[in-house]
């Protein structure tokens, strides 16, 4: 393909914008008026897109690998593996560092989920580290305050944080190293400071609008985020982490920290009390299993959106995706329309299974999902879909903020054990509340409850909210480990993971290329965002089908920030990290 013909195609696409269907709108169109050279990223035609070589090298090893949402976290996890720790040890060390160096995305005031593959037995364990609503959290509480939905931030959005218990329980069951050693890097970074990156400064600026005074004083002193290269310290958080290192769960859910957090939330007008923290427990559950591309695909069951992930994989089996071609209009249209069907069921049914009977067998039945896939029409986009397994109420969950401020990390050790781990505050800086004496930023996962009578996800005391967090793991047919995969991104998580797995399975990409390849993100209705490396004629064809197109320039967090570790049949480990965020991979 000659550059001139590509440039001509791009110019024709730009010139056609005023006469495209009314449903087609663009925030930033590739090459239009910018002087950009689309020859670097795309070719002509609606059959597909030529994806560029990766901008990061392949990271391979034979004895261990890590990938995490920040270089300092990856370094801490890799150091644990080199010192003889296992994958769980490395995962907790990375999770703790990320709680410090990505403070707007996750922390000890948030939740966590994980999958663990035990090489010696071949078993996969699933850890639900999400917290619950407090004993005072009833619909009547919100009605008395004249609220018809759970606020997206502030004290009424705060459910019990579960991440700390997840760390401790994972280590108690499968770890081999002392907590004090594993949390030491995080404690050091919190007390002595870590260098602020350009990306973190930008993220803080974008996420700091709803912060309380304590959080503003720490993260936006003088009204501005700390400049890149400066050291960011949170000594109060360091002290809290030291308590956790010494006392385990008791250092957070009991005693001085719990009492201080509970008093702060009560004073702010929230429903959590010290007793709610004291009774919190992590839950070990059986992972949900599906199949795709010759692999067994494992995810967390509800209260997560893992059911939507498996539905997408099963529906995708109804299409010849490989023949459609990577990045083709036909391929992208099919995936976008499948997402709408899966999310309709998700929004109806993803809730705490301790409070409602979720028809998992019906939702994951291959025959049912084949019928759902048959609803995808090749010549028109659907604005909305109804759930295929309806409940007593036809209402849909209020999703709240979907900024997807989350971190993902993964580790594989010399023995073949593997961890897929995700943790989050939900929105940027969660509830916006920093408790100053503990240094804890509290999440806003409670915002994902609704107040609709009869809905599975209505708020109730002791109930876990719906969760977007979806770590994933794949096994070979013989049960041996194949790869881990996960990404931040809220509603985009199942969409991104499906695209990445397709790149790996159907289009022959390496793990790094599969992650770097351009992605879409479907929102409510007809709106879909695309990275600017898709072919202009593909986007024009999608607009003709009724999709409302936004083109987003650059490597942005809009499309998540995936990490993966893949094990080849010969034992080689390939670790991949996403340039869309601050992720980094290391192997040895």
Find how far residue 106's CA is from the centre of its chain: 11
Q: Which one has a higher pLDDT value, 162 or 55? A: 162
Judging by DSSP bridges, how do beta strands 548-552 and 527-531 pair with one another? parallel
pLDDT of residue 393: 46
Cβ atoms 529, 10 nearer than 8 A: no
* Count of all residues that appear for the chain in the document: 588
CA distance 134 to 218: 28
Q: What is the mean pLDDT of residues 144-164?
A: 97
Q: What is the mean pLDDT of residues 258-283?
A: 98
Q: Is pLDDT of 37 > 80?
A: no
Cβ atoms 111, 469 nearer than 8 A: yes
Confidence class for position 48, pLDDT limits 50, 70, 90: low
Report all structural domains of the chain as residue ranges with CATH numbers, in order of start.
61-193+233-532+552-588 (3.60.20.40)
Confidence class for position 207, pLDDT limits 50, 70, 90: confident
Q: Is pLDDT of 2 > 60?
A: no
Confidence class for position 46, pLDDT limits 50, 70, 90: low
CA distances from 328 to 44, 90, 120, 539 (A): 11, 39, 42, 9
Say whether pTM exceeds 0.85.
Answer: yes
Q: Is pLDDT of 38 > 70?
A: no
Please give the mean pLDDT across all residues of the chain. 90
164-173 pLDDT tens trace? 999 999 999 9
Burial class of residue 226, CB neighbours in 10 A (0-12, 13-18, 19+): buried
pLDDT of residue 44: 38
Q: Is pLDDT of 157 > 50?
A: yes
CA distance 145 to 269: 11
CA distance 79 to 38: 41
Q: What is the DSSP string of 430-479?
A: TTSEEETTTTEEE--GGGG-B--TT-TTB--TTPPPPB----EEEE-TTS
Q: What is the mean pLDDT of residues 101-126?
A: 97
CA distances from 390 to 300, 349, 396, 587 (A): 22, 9, 11, 46
Q: Is pLDDT of 12 > 60?
A: no
Cβ atoms 496, 339 nearer than 8 A: no
Task: Give the dihedral of Cα atoms 429, 431, 432, 435; nearest 10 deg.
Answer: -100
pLDDT of residue 209: 79
pLDDT of residue 52: 54
Strand order of the sheet with strand 283-285? 283-285, 123-129, 111-118, 418-426, 405-412, 65-68, 584-587
Cβ atoms 394, 178 nearer than 8 A: no
Burial class of residue 588, CB neighbours in 10 A (0-12, 13-18, 19+): middle
First to last CA, the chain: 39
Q: Is pLDDT of 23 > 50?
A: no
CA distance 105 to 97: 12
CA distance 347 to 361: 17
Task: Please state which of the ranges 50-64, 270-284, 336-350 shows the lowest mean pLDDT.
Answer: 50-64
392-436 pLDDT tens trace? 443 444 444 455 578 999 999 999 999 999 999 999 999 999 999
536-551 pLDDT tens trace? 999 999 999 999 999 9
Cβ atoms 96, 112 nearer than 8 A: no
Cβ atoms 116, 174 nearer than 8 A: yes
Q: Is pLDDT of 260 > 50?
A: yes
The tokens of 233 are what? 């310290």
Instruction: Write down the catalytic residue from 304, 406, 484, 487.
Output: 406
CA distance 510 to 53: 10
441-494 pLDDT tens trace? 999 999 999 999 999 999 999 999 999 999 999 999 999 999 999 998 888 999
CA distance 5 to 44: 8
The tokens of 32 are what? 């239009």
Confidence class for position 51, pLDDT limits 50, 70, 90: low
CA angle 424, 471, 174 (to 5 degrees): 90
438 is catalytic: no
pLDDT of residue 53: 64
Neighbours of 371 (CB within 10 A): 13
CA distance 218 to 208: 11
306-352 pLDDT tens trace? 999 999 999 999 999 999 999 999 999 999 999 999 999 999 999 99
Q: What percent of the chain has pLDDT over 90?
A: 84
Instruction: Characterize 134-166 residue by residue with b for buried, 16 or more Cβ atoms within 10 angstroms of its Cβ, and e for exposed.
Output: beebbbebbeeeeeeebbbbbbbbbbbbbbbbb
């Amino acid at each position: 393909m000659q550059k001139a013909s590509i440039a001509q195609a791009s110019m024709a696409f730009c010139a056609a914008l005023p006469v495209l269907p009314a449903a087609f709108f663009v925030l930033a169109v590739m090459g239009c008026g910018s002087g950009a050279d689309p020859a670097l990223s795309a070719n002509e035609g609606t059959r597909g897109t030529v994806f560029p070589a990766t901008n990061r090298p392949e990271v391979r090893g034979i004895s261990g690998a890590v990938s995490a949402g920040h270089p300092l976290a990856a370094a801490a996890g890799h150091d644990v593996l080199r010192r003889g720790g296992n994958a769980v040890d490395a995962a907790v060390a990375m999770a703790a560092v990320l709680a410090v160096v990505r403070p707007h995305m996750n922390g000890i005031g948030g939740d966590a989920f994980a999958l663990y593959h035990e090489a010696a037995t071949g078993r996969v364990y699933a850890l639900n580290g999400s917290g619950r609503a407090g004993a005072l959290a009833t619909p009547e509480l919100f009605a008395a305050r004249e609220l018809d939905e759970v606020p997206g931030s502030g004290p009424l959005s705060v459910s019990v944080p579960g991440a700390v218990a997840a760390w401790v329980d994972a280590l108690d069951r499968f770890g081999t190293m002392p907590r004090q050693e594993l949390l030491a890097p995080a404690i050091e970074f919190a007390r002595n400071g870590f260098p602020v990156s350009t990306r973190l400064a930008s993220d803080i600026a974008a996420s700091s609008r709803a912060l309380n005074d304590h959080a503003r004083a720490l993260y936006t002193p003088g009204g501005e985020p700390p400049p890149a290269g400066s050291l960011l310290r949170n000594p109060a958080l360091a002290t809290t982490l030291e308590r956790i290192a010494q006392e385990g769960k008791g250092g957070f859910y009991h005693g001085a920290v719990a009492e201080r957090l509970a008093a702060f939330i009560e004073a702010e007008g929230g429903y959590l009390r010290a007793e709610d923290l004291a009774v919190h427990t992590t839950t070990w559950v059986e992972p949900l299993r599906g199949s795709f591309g010759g692999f067994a695909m494992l995810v967390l069951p509800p209260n997560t959106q893992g059911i939507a992930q498996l539905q997408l994989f099963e529906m995708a089996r109804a299409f010849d995706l490989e023949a459609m071609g990577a990045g083709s209009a036909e391929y992208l249209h099919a995936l976008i329309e499948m997402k709408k069907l899966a999310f309709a069921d998700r929004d109806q049914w993803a809730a705490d299974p301790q409070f409602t009977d979720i028809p998992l067998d019906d939702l994951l039945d291959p025959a049912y999902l084949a019928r759902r896939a048959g609803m995808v029409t090749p010549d028109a986009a659907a604005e909305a879909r109804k759930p295929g397994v309806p409940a007593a109420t036809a209402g849909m969950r209020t999703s709240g903020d979907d900024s997807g401020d989350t971190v993902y990390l993964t580790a594989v050790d010399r023995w073949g054990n593997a961890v897929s781990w995700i943790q989050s505050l939900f929105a940027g800086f969660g509830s916006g509340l920093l408790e100053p004496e503990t240094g804890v930023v509290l999440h806003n996962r409670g915002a994902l409850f609704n107040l609709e009578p009869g809905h599975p996800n209505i708020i109730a005391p002791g109930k876990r909210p719906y969760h977007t967090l979806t770590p994933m793991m794949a096994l070979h047919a013989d049960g041996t480990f194949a790869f881990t995969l996960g990404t931040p991104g809220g509603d985009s998580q199942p969409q991104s993971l499906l695209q990445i797995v397709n790149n790996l399975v159907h289009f022959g990409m390496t793990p790094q290329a599969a992650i770097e390849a351009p992605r879409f993100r479907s929102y409510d209705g007809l709106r879909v965002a695309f990275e600017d490396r898709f072919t202009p004629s593909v986007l024009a064809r999608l607009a003709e089908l009724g999709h409302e197109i936004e083109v987003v320039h650059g490597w942005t967090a809009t499309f998540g920030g995936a990490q993966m570790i893949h094990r080849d049949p010969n034992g080689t480990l390939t670790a991949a990290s996403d340039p869309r965020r601050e992720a980094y991979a290391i192997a040895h």
